[in-house]
Chain A
Amino acid sequence: MSKLGNLGARLHRGEVGYDFVKNRKIWYGISILITITAILGLAVRGLNMGIEFQGGAVFTTPKHMSTSVSQAETYAQDASGHDAIVQKLGDGSLRIQIAGIDTGKSDQIKDALSKDLKVNSEQINADLVGPSWGQQIANKAWQGLAIFMILVVIYLAIAFEWRMALAALVALIHDITITTGIYALVGFEVTPGTVIGLLTILGYSLYDTVVVFDSLKEQTKDITRQSRWTYSDVANRSINGTLVRSINTTVVALLPVAGLLFIGGGVLGAGMLNDISLSLFVGLAAGAYSSIFIATPLVADLKEREPQMKALRKRVLAKRAQAAAQGEPVAAESDESSFGDEPEEPAVVGPRNQPASRNRGRGRPSGKRR
């Protein structure tokens, strides 16, 4: 802990840190790349929709079946007249999926199966789904998503400001796209459980973002009344200041989900637990990434377009230039060069990277400050 604690302290003081805002273009680029890959994956491979979305039946037999998978497949095909997919789960039970059958016919199939497999039909779990059920869940989920996004944008616009609301929304869409993209690329089956997990990401992804924004809002309260830091500098400091918390939160959120995934995937083999936790796991990871690398830099970007912030930036840069002229060549140069190169670019100067050099410079009694 002591190391981490120290890291936390140094992050807090700004002795160490990563200039998220300065390097935002790299991260934007990475995110855009991932997003494009995700969209391509969705377009080309499509999602592997589970039986719930096509209509059909899933039968699960009791544990420890001696029947082989291929044998069960034959039984199921004979009984239903449709293709069947049979999996053997971790506990030795068989999961038989038959797509495209009518819910009405299922009892018949179940009876036939129980006879073939020599189990009591009362011991077979059956999940029968009409063809429109999954679609309905998905539609409602989309509807919920839309309503939630509108509400949350309104809320964030009131609690913070519209720029933050917009950035949070972008981050949210980013997370969801990435998650669904991964589902498409890897070919995980999409079930109602997946949809639940995906919807939960909504709350979580924003939860994380909101904490960073909260700190940002607090730190920038009186930003125009000083001329030492630009908005981007402060934004960067907010991210670094809440970094420890962000990491802790993500770890703490992922641990229980990992527990679920382990039990759901490893022990039960398949089912609701597995589906929910898998999409949660992917989504949470994406959410932690986006709140740090996307949402806040985006706010800084937007914010730097404000006339006030532009003026501030000018003041800050002028001051730094002046300071440089007075004998802080290292820091000032880098400041100036970046300013000169990309005058339209907001906030290229993060305090994070420079502190090291500046510290060294200032640690000596330069007489400048007292």
Chain B
Amino acid sequence: MSWPPPGPTGAERPEREYEKVAAPKKGRSAGAQSKPWRSLALILIAIVALTGGMFASGNTTPRLGIDLAGGTSITLRAVPERGQESAINKANMDTAVNIMERRVNGLGVSEAEVQTQGNDNIIVNIPKGTNSKQAREQVGTTAKLYFRPVLATEVSGGAAASPSPSASSSGKAGDKATDKTGDKATSTGSATPSATATKQGRAVTDGLKADATPSAGGTTSPKASTTPKASTSPAPSASGGTSNDATAKLQAQYAALDCSKKDVRATAGKGVKPTDPTVACGQNSQGLWQKYVLGPAAVDGTDVKKAQAVFNTQNASGWTVTMEFTSKGAKKFADITGKLAQNQSPQNQFAIVLDGDVVSDPYVSQALTGGNAEISGRFTQEQAQSLANMLSYGALPLTFKEDSVTTVTAALGGDQLHAGLIAGAIGLALVVLYLVVYYRGLAMIAVASLLVSAILTYVIMSLLGPAIGFALNLPAVCGAIVAIGITADSFIVFFERIRDELREGRSLRPAVERGWPRARRTILVSDFVSFLAAAVLFIVTVGKVQGFAFTLGLTTLLDVVVVFLFTKPLMTILARGKFFGRGHSWSGLDPRRLGVTPPLRRTRRPSGPAAGPVETKEA
């Protein structure tokens, strides 16, 4: 209610004066009121399209979080080493997430998800039906990255293995060599791209000295293809140099190892001391599993100072991975590469072993002493980056601490979901009941709007599951239930405005049109505050709070959409109808029930001191 400007207003009817001042100019031109059908059609189309999308994508229910579906959820917190507080940054956290994902999914869990939350938290969700204990152990331990010399290797498992007949001579038959040993330890020159067809075998080049060594091109291809010798057998593995017993055992292990089997892979080479030789699995560029006999670790993952994927423009070798070692690491690396360079393939290779899996097995053609090295091969950008990530992980000055572990059985999860739904239903029913009692016919509009809002929320949640990994957890359900109140409140603000206008003596249609602009502003302002709260919570907090904030924010946004595109147009249309337009006693807009009795109004209103406009006229 604003003050009417002082002036010669006495002649006019008070309401008119009031209208002139009160109705913001914009309100009248708002498109929604002139074309209510259009807005309704718009939101209807949106609903149909979204619902269609939902069914088309096959995600007809929202993805459920661990606490509703059952499973284990682990929250880890990164703890930086002393003096390295800056190590908690996005790049490092992402690397850690990648590694953990590898590990957890390596257990045969395909649904496990690992994600960062906030600055320094990682959440690992493992659905029910998997061995949560094992998963926890996997996630909880620090990743172990080692550089081990390769003593023998071959493709493992059924179909793939062409060399199997020559098992004893294992190493690599010619063809295989091309498959697999492509990499080279060459200088940057890496003159022979052809030879390096594969991802897995890669050349380590001494980045700095690159040009100095001419060996590059020459060494590679011939070595790869010809070296029958290396293949003699893994047994000699002089380098391993342990007792015969151990060697024999290793030999047996190696022979029995079938890397194409998932469960075998999961255990192969795990938990071996770095100082012992071991067997391990890795995947080569053809996607075939390759098995290895590896010597004791020569360089530790922590000796890597930095690893990066670099696009090498100088010699067209494409994406490469550069490594920088610590001074200690550089020395160790120089030693081992010096030794390896004298060997024949495959014993001139070293394997980069992460958690017992060979992630890369470049070969070396010379001692690399500079403390820098480059692994080249035909990497795609992604491959190079993923390798660099793994290499950096060893260098991450972070350890991860278990902050919380929640195991929810499927039974309890189901109960909680059930309880949440019942609570929602009760809440909704109570709200509807209250609205009906208080607003009568108007409540139908409110209920229809709530319904639209509910449908939209449901469909969008379902779609967000696959899209951004949204999972409905218990706090999110709470958020949705609480949001019923916020959504209903928008209608209350609107209805009260309309009633106020009616009390001013207007008939319904103008009352709706005049009430709307002011209700709209109130709704926007208050929804903004609510949304702000949700957004801040979402950004700042972690875990369960985040799920709650997300739902609250989403429903607040939808509330605005629904009020603008559905409630208001519907109100406009219904105001034209008989039931509401004439103020049926059950419509909730009956002037008499609102205390507006036209005959009385004349005499009474002016006498009300609060009827500002009238009073102030004389002022």
Q: Which residues of B contact A8 (CB under 8 A)?
A: 496, 499, 594-595
Q: Which residues of B contact A211 (CB under 8 A)?
A: 493, 522, 526
Cα A4 to Cα B616 with chains together (Å)? 28
Chain A interface size range: 35 or more
Is B427 in contact with A255, judged by CB distance below 8 angstroms?
yes
Q: Which residues of A contact B475 (CB under 8 A)?
A: 193, 196, 272, 276
Known A203-B529, A210-B529: A192·B618 in contact at CB below 8 Å: no
Is B541 in contact with A15, judged by CB distance below 8 angstroms?
no
Q: Among residues 5 to 51 in chain A, which have CB atoms less than 8 Å away from a CB atom of chain B?
A: 5-6, 8-10, 12-15, 17
Known A9-B503, A249-B492, A271-B416: A200·B552 in contact at CB below 8 Å: yes
Cα A124 to Cα B72 with chains together (Å)? 12
Q: Mark A132-158, 1 if CB is under 8 A from B, else 0.
A: 110011001101100110011001100
Minimum CB distance partner of B440 in chain A: A1
B171 at the interface (CB under 8 A from A): no
Q: Which residues of A contact B552 (CB under 8 A)?
A: 200, 203
Is A127 in contact with B431, judged by CB distance below 8 angstroms?
no
Is A222 in contact with B407, judged by CB distance below 8 angstroms?
no
B442 CB to closest chain A CB (Å) equals 10
B335 at the interface (CB under 8 A from A): no
Q: Which residues of A contact B405 (CB under 8 A)?
A: 103, 106, 126-129
Cα A140 to Cα B538 with chains together (Å)? 11
B17 CB to closest chain A CB (Å) equals 13
Interface of B is mostly: helix
Known A125-B412, A272-B474, A355-B609: A207·B530 in contact at CB below 8 Å: yes
Q: Which residues of A contact B534 (CB under 8 A)?
A: 203
Q: Mark B196-232, 1 if CB is under 8 A from A, else 0.
A: 0000000000000000000000000000000000000
Q: Which residues of A contact B435 (CB under 8 A)?
A: 252
Query: Which of B402, B419, B544 contacts A263, CB < 8 Å?
Result: B419
Q: Which residues of A contact B5 (CB under 8 A)?
A: 222, 225
Q: Which residues of B contact A118 (CB under 8 A)?
A: none
A310 at the interface (CB under 8 A from B): no
Cα A62 to Cα B414 with chains together (Å)? 12
Q: Among residues 372 to 431 in chain B, which have CB atoms less than 8 Å away from a CB atom of chain A?
A: 401-409, 411-412, 415-416, 419-420, 422-428, 430-431
Q: Which residues of A contact B499 (CB under 8 A)?
A: 5, 8, 12
A309 at the interface (CB under 8 A from B): no
Chain B interface size range: 35 or more
A188 CB to closest chain B CB (Å) equals 17
Cα A215 to Cα B416 with chains together (Å)? 41
Q: Mark A192-209, 1 if CB is under 8 A from B, else 0.
A: 110110011011101100
Minimum CB distance partner of B128 in chain A: A122
Is A130 in contact with B403, judged by CB distance below 8 angstroms?
yes
Minimum CB distance partner of B601 in chain A: A13
Q: Which residues of B contact A263 (CB under 8 A)?
A: 419-420, 422-423, 426
Cα A218 to Cα B514 with chains together (Å)? 14
Q: Among residues 60 to 101 in chain A, which have CB atoms less than 8 Å away from a CB atom of chain B?
A: 60, 62-63, 91
Q: Mark A221-250, 1 if CB is under 8 A from B, else 0.
A: 111011111000000010001101100110
5 contacts between A and B (CB under 8 A): A12-B503, A125-B412, A193-B544, A204-B486, A255-B431
Residues of B within 8 A of A (CB): 1-3, 5-6, 67, 75, 77, 118, 133, 136, 401-409, 411-412, 415-416, 419-420, 422-428, 430-431, 434-435, 437-440, 474-475, 478-479, 481-482, 484-486, 488-489, 492-493, 496, 499-500, 503, 518, 521-522, 525-526, 528-530, 532-534, 536-537, 540-545, 548-549, 552, 588, 593-596, 605-612, 615-616, 618-619
Residues of A within 8 A of B (CB): 1-2, 4-6, 8-10, 12-15, 17, 52, 60, 62-63, 91, 103-104, 106-107, 122-130, 132-133, 136-137, 140-141, 143-144, 147-148, 151-152, 155-156, 159, 192-193, 195-196, 199-200, 202-204, 206-207, 210-211, 214-215, 218-219, 221-223, 225-229, 237, 241-242, 244-245, 248-249, 251-260, 262-264, 267-268, 271-273, 276-277, 280, 319, 351-352, 354-355, 358-359, 362-363, 369
18 more A-B residue pairs beyond the given contacts A196-B475, A225-B5, A369-B618, with a C-beta to C-beta distance below 8 A = A15-B608, A17-B610, A123-B411, A124-B409, A125-B412, A130-B402, A133-B77, A140-B118, A140-B545, A155-B529, A203-B533, A203-B534, A206-B533, A211-B522, A248-B434, A256-B482, A280-B482, A358-B609
